[in-house]
Structure 1
Amino acid sequence: MAQHRFKVGDVVTLGRSFLKMPEGPFEVIRLLPSDSADPAYRIKSRSESYERAVREYEIKAA
């Protein structure tokens, strides 16, 4: 299992464009256990009322 590169409270952006996604930035809300080589996170944008789950390869430091 790989180590998480980001920690709770870090600000990130999406590394590639996703349809119907706010521009960001997003805050890392929670580190998720991962069953693969890519760690997973819960992130939240200030412009949305809900969290999103993403893999580490999908985000980058803001």
Structure 2
Amino acid sequence: MKHKFVVGESVHFTASNVARPAASGAYEVVQLLPTDGDDCQYRIKNSTEAFERVAKESQLDVC
């Protein structure tokens, strides 16, 4: 399975209901991660948060 986004790309993140509240705005893809079942995963970072998040491709959209 091929990742849709690349490292350094800006994306919009939509958090799931069980995730901690997410900062609004653009996130940067900082690392490509292995797939989780049928969904590619990414490590993403928002400039207003002190930590990185793991997101599935289905939670991301192009900015």
Please give the range of the TM-score, normalised by the shorter of the 2 chains.
0.7 to 0.9
Distance 1:15 1:35 in 2: 17
Report which of the two has the higher share of strand.
2
Q: TM-score, normalised by structure 2?
A: 0.85
Distance 1:7 1:21 in 2: 21
Q: TM-score, normalised by structure 1?
A: 0.86
Which runs of 5 or more residues in structure 1 are unaligned?
Answer: none
Distance 1:4 1:47, change over 3 A: same
For residues 8-47 of structure 1, what are the structure 2 equivalents within 5 Å?
8-15=7-14, 20-47=21-48
Distance 1:5 1:27 in 2: 14
Which runs of 5 or more residues in structure 2 are unaligned?
Answer: none
Aligned to 2:6: 7
Q: What count of residue pairs does the alignment treat as equivalent? A: 61
Q: Equivalent pairs: percent with the same residue?
A: 36
Matched, 1:54 2:48: no
Is the partner of 1:39 in helix, strand or coil? strand
1:8 shift after superposition:
0.1
